[in-house]
Structure 1
Amino acid sequence: MEDDGYEGPAVLIVGEERFSVRARLCGQFQPIDGRYRWYGRLGSDERLSRLVGDRSTAVVLLTEEGDAEGRITEPDLWNRYRIEGTSAPPFRIPLGLGDVGAE
């Protein structure tokens, strides 16, 4: 089974603040716990770095394909934050992946 994903523009919401970022996301269904886990990187944004710094923060990510709650963690050397979530992802899941575990 191949990964699915999304690459393109996104809006990151942190508290009351909104940031336009570029997102590169993918995800996989985890059969052991029955959850879908998605993750990826967000393009750097100076204003986001000033607001969040190096701490982990709850966020909402909106893409052209959907939205989801997630969490960003400390940035890499290029100030790109890692993002992850355990839920329906902010992008479409190809047919077949969503059928796993369905009745």
Structure 2
Amino acid sequence: MRAGETAVTVTVRLSVQFEPVEGRYRWAGRAAPDATLSAQLRSGTRDVTVRIGEREAAARLGEPDPWGGVRLSGVGRAPWSAVAGA
């Protein structure tokens, strides 16, 4: 995950859903607790780039949960391929 010049490797759990009325995908999930990511969030950072393998997508950070994880969400192409080789 990258926020400006700061990059952090963090475990994420994400899911995607197609919204037929909008005609686009929405994806969301949580990032595992990470001190650097939490510091970025406290400093006001909300817009990040999530990269999984060679794919990346813009995302928006949400509020932290009670365990220190951070919610994130994105619209459009997800940063992972649901089909191997796609």
TM-score (norm 1): 0.74
- In the comparison of the two structures, how many residue pairs are matched? 84
Q: Distance in 1 between matches of 2:56 and 2:23?
A: 20
CA distance in 2 between counterparts of 1:91 and 1:17 reads 21
1:35-50 equivalent positions in 2, closer than 5 A: 35-50=24-39
Which stretches in structure 1 are left out of the alignment for 5+ residues?
Answer: 1-11, 96-103
Regions of 4+ moved over 3 Å: none
Give a deviation string over 1:47-91, Cα, whole Å, max 9, x none. Answer: 221222285600000012611001011100011111100010001
Query: Structure 2: where are the runs of 5+ without partners?
Result: none
Contact 2:41/2:61 (8 A) holds in 1: no
Corresponding residue number in structure 1 for 2:13: 24
Q: How high is the TM-score relative to the length of structure 2? A: 0.87
Aligned-partner SS, 1:52 = helix
More strand by percentage: 1
Q: Equivalent residue for 2:3?
A: 14
2:68 to 76, 79, 85: 79
1:20 aligned counterpart, secondary structure: coil
- Aligned-pair RMSD on alpha carbons? 1.9
Maintained 8 Å contact 1:44/1:80 = yes
64, 68, 92: which is aligned to 2:81? Answer: 92
Amino acid at match of 1:68: A
